[in-house]
Amino acid sequence: MVGASLGATAFAGAAGPLYGWAADLSLDEFLQKHYTELKPDELQAVLRRLEAETKEDYGADVQIEDVRPQEGVQFAYALNLSVCTGCRKCQEACHHENNHDRATNNSYIRVFEMDKGTLSFDHGNADYDHAVPKEGKFYLPVQCQQCDNAPCVTVCPVQATWKESDGVVVVDYNWCIGCRYCEAACPYHARRFNWQKPQISAHEVNPNQAYLSNRIRPQGVVEKCTFCLHRTRKGRLPACLEACPTGARVFGNVLDPNSTIRWVLENKRVFVLKEELGTRPRFYYFFDK
Amino acid sequence: MLSSVRLKTARGDERVACELCHSLRPTKPLPKNMEELKEFHLGMQFKHGTLPCTSCHSAGQPPRLHLASGAALEMVDAMQLCAQCHGTQFRDYTHGAHGGMNGHWDTTQGPRLRNHCVDCHDPHRPQIQAVHPAPAPRDRFFGKGLVH
């Protein structure tokens, strides 16, 4: 009898956080289907509900769109390591564009300070705090490499993350169960987990949002770079590229033979990070000095 | 940045268009060396290889430029002047692989604005100067050498 009572108490204690969490979860959200299975009218209802929730939770008036891949477009990114100065403007722009948590100053980009002559960013330092560029160092910004053979997609047990037709790896933030397998599988440390509900004051929220990209992510899900698909699928440049003061970043459609990205891939000695893993990234790096 | 100099004024460090003064008073011929520059030119720094002023500026008319051939060049066409020596950078720029930009990657959907050479490089001291970086993220796991 005492044992049963203790057991019940222990169960209630263990399940307590779940009840707290469930209080934040509406019935509509609980019953919501996977992004790829939503009919157009269902998806519109979801977007309007998320806008209302953002208003309620953050006090911000936002527009959440569903932006689909464009026909005949395959995105790729290249970064010139010879001119990157490590100023972290890209990281900062990402932080604001993608409505990251202000408390952690989170961003999809990490800029690693590296000793010249090395290329393993596992030994780089992303925590530097001195004038840049520093003698004897170079700077390696790392974000999602949008792999064509993406380990994060393979390991997801619920198919909450997948690769879209334009090459962008996306997450259905309402389908993710927060197991963090993808975070562990990514060799580029490109995925982040929302340990807490993101904090952003209403006037700092970027109101131009998309379901698969920069809407404010819920607590307990993994998030990642989407090449700013809410911008790039409308022909615009990603926020990190616009912020780069040195022009180190090149972005575009590899299917267009006259694009800047094609010129770089054809004329510079580009390489990818951790090529030996066979992830086939769409993010290329090069030195040209 | 084109046709302007960075000066310490009463309002602090700011850019002032050459024309602000030179439209009101005639420009004197260039001095023999940079140390002889006076007044508003005092704060200017010159470190562009070992080039003398007259490599780019016309001696009798400093607000005008000239190419290596001697052909006169307007300030707004200064990129041609830079390209004479910095051919690889100009080639990369022409193909969109050098220099910052904003706007659209797909120019059928909207404009793309490119930076000019002198938006980033002070023509008198072109090397990019060291800056203090934006703050690092404050990750739970973040510290020196730790990236998870």
ipTM: 0.87
Q: Which of A34, A33, A140 is nearest to A81 (CA)?
A: A140
- Integer angstrom CA distances of residue A6 from A9, A18, A222: 5, 19, 35
- Residue A286: its H or E element: strand A283-286
Shortest Cα–Cα distance, A40 to chain B (Å): 25
B137 and A263 within 8 Å at the Cβ level: the answer is: no
Does the beta carbon of A34 lie under 8 angstroms from any beta carbon of chain B? no
pLDDT digits (tens, 9 = 90+) for A104-135: 999 999 999 999 999 999 899 999 999 999 99
pLDDT digits (tens, 9 = 90+) for B110-136: 999 999 998 889 888 898 889 999 999
pLDDT band at B47 (very low <50, low <70, confident <90, very high): confident
Q: CB neighbours of A217 closer than 8 A, spacing ≥ 6?
A: A173, A194, A198, A223
Residue A122 · residue A146 · CB < 8 Å: no
3-state DSSP helix/strand/coil % of chain B, to nearest 5: 25, 20, 55
pLDDT band at B147 (very low <50, low <70, confident <90, very high): very low
Does the beta carbon of A145 lie under 8 angstroms from any beta carbon of chain B? no
Residue in B104, B135, B145 closest to A237 by CB: B104
pLDDT digits (tens, 9 = 90+) for A34-85: 999 999 999 999 999 999 999 999 999 999 999 999 999 999 999 999 999 9
**Residue A52 carries which side chain, given as an amino acid letter?**
A
Q: Per the structure block, which two tokens stand in for A38?
A: 């939503």
| The predicted structure's pLDDT at residue B1 | 40
Cα B64 → chain centroid: 16
With beta carbons under 8 A apart, name residues in chain A contacting B105: 232, 235-237, 251-253, 259-260
Q: Is the peptide bond before B126 cis (omega within 30 degrees of 0)?
A: no
With beta carbons under 8 A apart, name residues in chain B contacting A236: 103-105, 109-110
| The predicted structure's pLDDT at residue B145 | 42
Listed by number, the residues of chain A in 161-220 with a beta carbon closer than 8 Å to a beta carbon of chain B are: 189, 195
pLDDT higher than threshold 50 for residue B7? yes
pLDDT digits (tens, 9 = 90+) for B54-89: 889 887 776 789 999 999 998 889 999 999 999 999
Between B114 and B31, residue with greater pLDDT: B114
User: What is the Cα–Cα distance from A138 to A272, expressed in whole angstroms?
Assistant: 16
Instruction: Sort B113 into a burial class: Cβ within 10 Å, 0-12 / 13-18 / 19+.
Output: exposed
Give the three-class secondary structure for B15. Answer: strand
